[in-house]
Amino acid sequence: MTDDGCERHPPFSIRHPSSVHSPHMNKNFVAELQAGLDSLKAAGTYKKLNHLASPQSARVQMEGRGEVLILSSNNYLGLCDEPSVIEAGIDGLRQYGAGTGSVRFICGTFTVHRELETALARFVGTEASMSYVSAWNANEGLTASIVQEGDFVISDALNHASIIDSIRLAKAITKCTTAVYKHSDLDDLVEKLSAQKAAKRRLIWTDGVFSMEGSIAKLPQLLQIAKDHDAILIMDDSHATGVLGKTGRGTAEHFGVLGEVDVITSTLGKALGGAAGGFVAGPAALCDTLTQRSRPQLFSNALPPTVAASALASVEFIEKHPERVQQLRDNTAFFRGAIVEAGFKPLDGDTPIVPIIIGETADAIKMSELLLDEGIFVTGFGFPVVPQGTARLRCQISASHTKADLEFAVAAIRRVGLKTGVIK
């Protein structure tokens, strides 16, 4: 590492650009990319971006569409446009400026980062926490920083892509042993842990809430298995922080085991204001280790202070207003009941993620497009995000939805379902 904190590659000779690339090669490259895009369009699986001209909320202004009801946002508690959260971000911008200018150990750590990390640790029931510019960075930085050669890392089959990639990176760096257990199949987990008794350490990675299913990890059983096998339990609680538990403290509070999970990672980009950022929470020694070794900490700017300030305000808002969490729970129960009554069979669950299985990817995307014509923005997900044949509309409920919003959504989904033959 150089004295400016930048990692350098070995010196290399500089060649004239004409000796590296030719116009012919560039044209082929672009043509290949375009052919791939054309095939997606022909298959009906091409993803189109819709542009919003207003804050993320229950209803938004969409370019070319006017007002649209959002049914696919992670804005679970409606804090994206909560006035106190917005004002905190503005105050943070005025006090600390637009950005951090470099990495934390080089140019200093703003006090708002310390305040945020103290609040996050308090909120999820750990000794300390460390913030990152994204939850992806948090997961990526964690695994590679703590795993060593001789360790065994095992992951639920439906874990988020950031967990999967973090384990792949750790394996490439440390040559640790890895495995995947069948989704929520604890017998499979135990069998594979038992076969790794000689491993130096055993680490279990799980989501708290599985984002495409809306299902909740069997946390009490996982904690017992971790204890029985002297394993470290790591849980990504991104879709549970601010959502599950009586006061929104996540999966651990939901099961009455707050403070018992070894390591929790989560996001600031969903229920906690929805801006950006993520964090790792656990023992103080872990967070200090991440400060020393985590590559996203060592080579990337810290979370913008305005985002840290708005996220801190979000945590404080939830602590003061547990009724917002209850409103989310009430809205979810109403929508689940109404969508079943409308003739659909969503995946069972207790979370505000309500997946309606459609089948083929093209059909799910088509249904999503028809719903947009009805004034409902809900995304169709298909392969490779979910397995072939299980494409779905992933409806996500917010505390900011009114009963009228949800009734309007259910009526529109039913009309489109009848039109497409998804329901009879």
Beta strands in 133-183 (DSSP E): 152-156, 177-181
* Angle at 173 (CA atoms; ends 171, 174), nearest 5 degrees: 70
* Angle at 29 (CA atoms; ends 23, 32), nearest 5 degrees: 140
Contact 136, 265 (CB under 8 A): no
Q: Quick check: is 145 catalytic? A: no
Residue in 113, 160, 229, 270 annotated catalytic:
270
Residue in 229, 239, 254, 321 annotated catalytic:
239
Residue in 134, 211, 300, 398 annotated catalytic:
211
Element (H, E) at 263: strand 263-267
Q: Quick check: is 9 catalytic? A: no
* DSSP codes, 181-234: E-TT-HHHHHHHHHTTTTSS-EEEEEESB-TTT--B--HHHHHHHHHHTTEEEE
How far CA 1 is from CA of 7, 10, 172, 297, 321, in Å, comes to 5, 11, 20, 14, 46
Per the listing, tokens 């439906």 go with 158
What are the beta bridge partners of residue 70?
377
Q: Quick check: is 211 catalytic? A: yes
Return the C-alpha torsion angle 87, 88, 93, 94, nearest 10.
Answer: 70
Relative to beta strand 278-282, strand 353-359 is unpaired
- Known catalytic residues are 211, 239, 270
